[in-house]
Structure 1
Amino acid sequence: MQITMREIHKAFGSNQVLSGVDFELRNGEVHALMGENGAGKSTLMNILTGLHKLDQGSISIDGKEHYFSNPKEAEKFGITFIHQELNIWPDMTVLENLFIGKELKNSFGFLKTSEMKALAEEQFKKLSVSIPLDLEAGQCSVGQQQMIEIAKALLTDAKVIIMDEPTAALTEREIQKLFEVIAALKKEGVSIVYISHRMEEIFAICDRITVMRDGKTVDTKNIPETSFDEVVRKMVGRELTERFPQRTPSLGETILEIKHLTKKGSFENVSFSVKTGEILGVSGLMGAGRTEIMRAIFGLDGFDSGEILVNGKQEFIKYPHQAIKLGIGFITEDRKDEGLVLDFSISDNVVLPSLKSFAPNFIIKEKDERDFVELLIKRLTVKTQSSTTRVGSLSGGNQQKVVIAKWVGIGPKVLIMDEPTRGVDVGAKREIYQLMNELTDRGVAIIMVSSELPEILGMSDRVLVVHEGKISGELVKEEATQERIMTLATGGQ
Structure 2
Amino acid sequence: MDTILEMRGITKTFPGVKALDDVNLKVKRGEIHALVGENGAGKSTLMKVLSGVYPHGSYDGEILFEGKPAAFSGIRDSERVGIIIIHQELALVPLLSIAENIFLGNEIASSGVIDWPETYSRAEMLLKKVGLKESPQQQVDTLGVGKQQLVEIAKALSKEVKLLILDEPTAALQENDSQKLLDLLLEFQEQGITSILISHKLNEVSRVADSITVLRDGHTVATLDAEGSEVSEERIIRDMVGRDMAHRYPQRNPQIGDILFEVEGWNVWHAEHSDRQVIRDIGFHVRKGEVVGIAGLMGSGRTELAMSLFGKSYGRNISGTVKLGGKPIDTSTVNRAVQNGLAYVTEDRKELGLILEETILKNTTLANLDGVSNRGVIDATAERHVSEDYRRALGVRTPSVFQKVMNLSGGNQQKVVLAKWLFTDPQVLILDEPTRGIDVGAKFEIYSIINDLAAQGRGVIVISSEMPELLGMCDRIYVMNEGTFAGELAAHEASQEKIMSMIVKA
So what's the TM-score if we normalise by structure 2? 0.89
RMSD: 2.7
CA distance in 1, matches of 2:121, 2:481: 30
How many matched pairs? 491
How many Å separate the matches in 2 of 1:132 and 1:322? 46
Match of 1:51?
Answer: 53
**How many Å separate the matches in 1 of 2:138 and 2:424?**
41
Out of 34, 37, 46, the position equivalent to 1:35 is: 37
Confirm or deny: 8 A CA contact 2:35 2:43 kept in the other structure.
yes
Q: Which residue of 1 aligns with 2:191?
A: 188
Q: Tell me whether 288-297 or 415-424 shows the greater mean CA deviation.
A: 288-297
Which whole-Å CA distance do the structure 2 matches of 1:275 and 1:114 have between them? 61
| 1:274–1:280 Cα contact (<8 Å) kept | yes
- Measure the CA separation in 1 of the matches of 2:238 and 2:452: 25
CA–CA distance in 2 between the matches of 1:101 and 1:308?
A: 52
Partners of 1:125 and 1:268 lie apart in 2 by 37
Report the alpha carbon displacement of residue 392 of structure 1 after superposing the two structures with TM.
1.3
Q: 1:360 to 1:275 in 2, by over 3 A?
A: farther
Q: Do the aligned residues in 1 keep the contact of 2:300 with 2:482 (CA within 8 Å)? A: yes
- On the 8 A contact 2:130/2:153 being kept in 1, the answer is no
- Give the aligned residue type for 1:281: G
Pair 94,289 (structure 1): closer, same or farther in 2 beyond 3 Å:
farther
Q: Tell me the residue number matched to 2:77.
A: 73
- Equivalent residues of 2:124, 2:136 under 8 A apart: no
2: distance between equivalents of 1:106 and 1:52? 32
Task: Check whether the contact 2:279–2:305 (CA below 8 A) recurs between aligned residues.
Answer: no
Which residue, 320, 323, 328 being the options, matches 1:310?
323
Per-residue CA distance 1:449-482 (angstroms, 9 max, x = gap): 1121211211122222222333233222122212
The equivalent position to 1:336 in structure 2, one of 340, 343, 350, is: 350
Show structure 1 runs of 5+ residues with no match. Answer: none
Larger Rg: 2
Q: Please identify, of 113-122 and 367-376, the stretch whose mean Cα deviation from structure 2 is larger.
A: 113-122
Candidates 324, 335, 339, aligned match of 2:338:
324
CA contact (8 A) 1:261 1:303 kept: no
Please, which moves more after superposition, 38-47 or 449-458?
449-458
Offset of residue 94 of structure 1: 5.5
Aligned to 1:169: 172
Note the 1:57-456 alignment, pairs <5 A: 57-90=61-94, 92=96, 96-105=100-109, 109-110=113-114, 112=116, 115-116=119-120, 119=123, 123=127, 126-127=130-131, 134-135=138-139, 137=141, 145-146=148-149, 148-223=151-226, 224=228, 225-251=230-256, 252-264=258-270, 265=276, 267-269=278-280, 270-298=282-310, 299-311=312-324, 312-456=326-470
Q: Aligned letter for 2:266?
A: H
Does the CA-based 8 Å contact 2:308-2:318 persist in structure 1? Answer: no
SS of the equivalent of 1:386 reads coil
How far did 1:439 drift? 0.3
Determine if contact 1:127/1:178 at 8 Å carries over to the other structure: no
Change (3 A) 1:177 1:366: same
Q: Which moved more, 1:81-90 or 1:452-461?
A: 81-90
Matches within 5 A, 1:455-470: 455-470=469-484
**Shift of the alpha carbon at 1:443?**
1.7
| 1:36 CA drift (Å) | 1.6
Query: 2: CA distance between counterparts of 1:72 and 1:351?
Result: 41
Note closer, same or farther for the CA distance 1:286–1:77 as it changes in structure 2 (3 Å cut): farther
Aligned CA distance change for structure 1 residues 95 and 30 (closer, same or farther; 3 Å): same
| Structure 1 residues 103 and 408, CA gap change in structure 2 (3 angstroms) | farther
How high is the sequence identity, in percent, across the aligned residues? 40
Tell me the amino acid that sits aligned with residue 495 of structure 2.
Answer: T
Cα drift, residue 442 of structure 1: 1.0
Unmatched segments (≥5 aa) in structure 2:
271-275
Question: What is the identity, as a one-letter code, of the residue corresponding to 1:444?
Answer: R
Change (3 A) 1:327 1:395: same
Change (3 A) 1:90 1:275: farther
Amino acid at match of 1:161: L
Letter of the 1:427 counterpart: G
The AA in structure 1 aligned to 2:278 is F
Structure 1 residue matching 2:387: 3-state secondary structure: helix
Q: Which moved more, 1:320-329 or 1:83-92?
A: 83-92
Distance 1:190 1:295, change over 3 A: same
Deviation by residue 1:341-398 (Cα, 9 ceiling, x = unmatched): 1110111111100111111411222222212211221222222111101111222332
